[in-house]
Amino acid sequence: MKTIISCAITGAIHTPSLSPYLPVTPDEIAEQSIDAAKAGASIIHLHARQPNDGKPTNDTKIFREFLTKINSESDAILNISTGVALGMTLDERLAAVKEFQPELCSLNMGSINFNVARAAKADVKWKHDWEKEHLAKSEDIVFRNTFKDIDYIIKTVSDFGTKFEYECYDVGHLYNLAHFAEHGIIKPPFFIQFIFGVMGGIGADEQAFNVMKQTADKLFGNNYHFSVLGAGRHQFLIAELSLKAGGNVRVGLEDNLYLDKGVLARSNAEQVAKVKQIALDLGREIANPDETRQILDLKGKDKTKITLS
Ligand code: KMH
Ligand code: ZN
């Protein structure tokens, strides 16, 4: 099976002062997405930010600006977050997916205390008032994804034919996913993102990888495809484990600002190029967007509502 590379372009975790290369405006997000696709990513995972200060937003006008631009210049699969940002209501989180009905959207498979408070202690000059507080307060926020919330997102989104990137931060989340599968609420093939190294979830090492993989094999047999995401410095180590085991990978500045120890990535495309080379060196081939659509059984770009108005 060919390798699917996903790239998560900007997210809602990192803040602009942590890296000058984090894309913030719609033009920056579009440009880095197009370049990441050219570098080998077939899936582009997207959040939006306010252009003036980089604060995460669910504003669909801002989403429209970059979604249409990426769509006109790239054939990549656009994947819109339903996590959006800590502290938003479920309906706020679903606004963009409802409006644009993309081929893919994220679905977070459990509640966690997604703690990035350590980053508030970074030795940087903060450009915007909101940044430090945004990071610091995460140690006391539950990223809420109850069974009822998950069910609500599935019911809302399934009418659009949008499929999911199932975000699993710990082993229990795989069992949560199995619950929805067993009740026929979701249908295979399941595209599962194993997430390692987010504080509040499982750690990022080989043993953790094996636990997630073995548990998913037990629960989903041949009915799933896995990808991995290692947060921060764990990104490429975890990617390599997945590639060796026949899996897929997600990189991007959403989850890691660096290319190497102490070296900031100057773009998302740099990280895509690096992971693509690791994959090629391991003898893996890279899936293009249409091959990825086939593997994940996606509805196709023409069936989304990503239009100019
Ligand atoms: N940043 C990832 C660890 C979402 O957008 O719904 C999780 C994520 C969630 O990408
Ligand atoms: Zn995300």
What is 264-300 written as a DSSP string? E-S-HHHHHHHHHHHHHHTTPPBPPHHHHHHHHT---
In 3D space, the residue among 102, 66, 106 whose CA is nearest the CA of residue 84 turns out to be 106
What's the confidence (pLDDT) of residue 308?
83
Length of the chain as a residue count: 309
Residue 57 CA to ligand 2 centre (angstroms):
12
For residue 197, which of 116, 277, 76, 136 has the smallest C-alpha distance?
Answer: 116
- Closest Cα to atom 2, ligand 1: which residue? 255
Interatomic CA distance for residues 171 and 195, integer angstroms:
10
Which residue in 106, 155, 108, 162 sits closest to 305, CA to CA? Answer: 162
The confidence score (pLDDT) of residue 200 equals 98
Q: How far is the CA of 251 from the centre of ligand 2 (A)?
A: 11
106 ligand 1 Cβ < 6 A: yes
Measured from the CB, is residue 15 less than 6 Å from ligand 1? no
Report the nearest atom of ligand 1 relative to the CA of 229: 3
Measuring from atom 7 of ligand 1, which residue has the nearest CA? 167
Contact 153, 166 (CB under 8 A): no
Tell me, what's the pLDDT at 67?
98
Cβ of 198 below 6 Å from ligand 1: yes
The DSSP string of 18-49 is G-TTS--SHHHHHHHHHHHHHHT-SEEEE-EE
Specify the pLDDT at position 309: 73
CATH number of 5-303: 3.20.20.70
* Most informative mutation of 22, 90, 106 for ligand 1 (most atoms within 8 A of CB): 106
CA angle 232, 120, 271 (to 5 degrees): 25
| 104: three-class secondary structure by DSSP | strand
Q: pLDDT at position 127, please?
A: 98
pTM score of the predicted model: 0.98
Ligand at minimal distance from the CA of 114 is 1
For the CA of 255, the nearest ligand: 1
- Average pLDDT per consecutive 10 residues, the chain (309 residues; last block may be shorter): 98 98 98 98 98 98 98 98 95 98 98 97 97 97 97 95 98 98 97 98 98 98 98 97 98 98 98 98 98 98 92
Residue 167 near ligand 1, beta carbon < 6 Å: yes
Q: Is 58 in the pocket of ligand 1 (CB under 6 A)?
A: no
Residue 73 burial (CB < 10 Å; 0-12/13-18/19+)?
Answer: middle
